[in-house]
Chain A
């Protein structure tokens, strides 16, 4: 009797909604962390092979089939590398920054739709959430630059802030057209609205603006000014060694994937596709998108800082506003000719 009572009480304990939610949260976190780790290993290998492909080299091929073990060796080395904390840094800020950078990356993964009914949290303000979270990383980068107590780090951090804050505007504006078309910010609704035609065909201008600003948000070449090697040594990560650098590195590749996933969700119909299961379509489309990002990255040279600001304020923002205007006219014309709506 006694043991029976115990079991019931344990069962009741797990039935408690707070405990239940906590446990589910832990499971979600573990799943996403495992997903990111495997993903980053594949992406690192892919990045190097793609870079080599565009530079007429072979890239890492010696270790493992097609060089697939290379990122594993890199990861083990990075974990076992000496962990230096320079004497004059602001210890709290310096140590916190890589963790925060990685955390914002993790948060983005929470709202991505990986497949049919396969998202961690189905937010009704999904797009807004993604825009807000992806710009929070700026604070962490500035923390890294400031805490390192190094002039190159500080300049790199400042540049990132200037760049991401100004590129955030056309980034958000380019997505407004889609929200106008679907009337919803929910990622699942946006995917369902693309059942017949992908938004890349309805919003080509928005896609171009989105792609350029996404490259800037990722700090990738041609917009890798925050870590321009020829000017700034390595930007805000100059003073980071060992696993702290590893975390930033990890976040960089994970961000590349999440940005590609956002592009696929908003412009290429997300997980929709014939025959194959939905999560496989999502992976295929997103990896193709990642390849496209790498293609741009390894083809174009770095742009100068003043030209980059000029491009943003004088070209991209007017273009994105024009896109909103055209979308509005288009919607009204569509309603007028099909007799829908109250025109």
Chain B
């Protein structure tokens, strides 16, 4: 019988290794899975929510990317979709709901109201954007943004979770 121990060829070995085995860190693998199964928490206090509903339904169908399982309670969700005007009275509720989402969590601000107050920017009773309350990861501009834009916002959030370096970081004071 021939002993195979002496015939080890490192190049061959590495080739087989690289082609068949994927090395990754647990963190990266988890991020990969998380970014592909974001359960959205619908927080739609105003008109942008209509566009969001359309993005969920036929033709635009967010479910293709696994963003479909909308849960009504914040405890079981991953990403908060702020779709609409946040009045000062609603702000406290919004903050509380955000705090109830378990980590890791993300926020998407949909529409100019959630970005900066939009048409009501100089109103006495409107919060000037969701990022006054909690950190926002992706901004989707428009009044209202089209369903395509909302889909793209979610896809960008997916890429951002996969590779955090591509995101520009906005500081919160």
Chain A interface: which of B1-9, B30-38, B115-123, B139-147? B30-38
B65 CB within 8 Å of chain A: yes
Residue on B nearest A78 in the bound complex, by CB: B37
User: In chain B between 53 and 79, which residues have their CB closer than 8 angstroms to a CB of chain A?
Assistant: 57-58, 61, 63-66, 68-69, 71-73, 75-76, 78
Chain B residue total in the interface (Cβ 8 A): 26
Complex Cα gap A73–B30 (Å)? 9
User: Of A72, A77, A241, which one neighbours B34 at CB under 8 angstroms?
Assistant: A77
CB distance A234 to B73 under 8 Å? yes
CB distance B68 to A76 under 8 Å? no
**How far in angstroms is the closest Cβ of chain B from A61?**
6
Residues 72-100 of B, flagged 1 when their CB comes within 8 A of A and 0 if not, give 11011010000000000000000000001
- Secondary structure call for the B interface: loop
B164 CB within 8 Å of chain A: no
User: Of A55, A58, A82, A234, which one neighbours B64 at CB under 8 angstroms?
Assistant: A58
Residues of B contacting A240 in the complex (Cβ-Cβ under 8 angstroms): 75-76
User: Of B34, B68, B100, which one neighbours A48 at CB under 8 angstroms?
Assistant: B68
**How far in angstroms is the closest Cβ of chain A from B21?**
19
Complex Cα gap A77–B78 (Å)? 10
B173 CB within 8 Å of chain A: no
CB distance B30 to A58 under 8 Å? no
CB distance A81 to B72 under 8 Å? no
Complex Cα gap A234–B34 (Å)? 22
CB distance A229 to B72 under 8 Å? yes
Q: How many A-B residue pairs have CB under 8 A?
A: 88
Residue on A nearest B69 in the bound complex, by CB: A74
**How far in angstroms is the closest Cβ of chain B from A157?**
15
Complex Cα gap A5–B69 (Å)? 61
B12 CB within 8 Å of chain A: no
CB distance A70 to B66 under 8 Å? yes
CB distance B102 to A84 under 8 Å? yes
Residues 129-146 of B, flagged 1 when their CB comes within 8 A of A and 0 if not, give 000000000000000000
Sort chain A's interface into a size bin.
20 to 34
Given contacts A60-B68, A70-B36, A77-B33, contact A82 B102 (CB under 8 A): yes
Residues of A contacting B100 in the complex (Cβ-Cβ under 8 angstroms): 84
A336 CB within 8 Å of chain B: no
CB distance A238 to B75 under 8 Å? yes
Complex Cα gap A82–B74 (Å)? 12
Residues of A contacting B33 in the complex (Cβ-Cβ under 8 angstroms): 72-73, 76-77, 80
B103 CB within 8 Å of chain A: yes
User: Of B58, B65, B72, B76, which one neighbours A241 at CB under 8 angstroms?
Assistant: B76
CB distance B63 to A234 under 8 Å? no
Kindly list 19 other residue pairs between chains A and B, CB separation below 8 angstroms, not including A59-B68, A61-B64, A74-B37: A48-B63, A57-B57, A58-B63, A59-B63, A63-B65, A63-B66, A67-B64, A73-B32, A73-B33, A73-B34, A76-B34, A77-B78, A84-B75, A84-B100, A234-B71, A237-B73, A237-B76, A239-B75, A245-B76
Of the A-B pairs whose beta carbons lie under 8 Å apart in the complex, a sample of 7, sorted by A's number, is: A57-B57, A61-B64, A67-B64, A73-B32, A73-B33, A76-B30, A84-B102
**Interface residues of B, Cβ cutoff 8 Å to A:** 29-30, 32-34, 36-37, 57-58, 61, 63-66, 68-69, 71-73, 75-76, 78, 100, 102-104
**Interface residues of A, Cβ cutoff 8 Å to B:** 48, 52, 55-63, 67, 70, 72-74, 76-77, 80-84, 229, 233-234, 237-242, 245
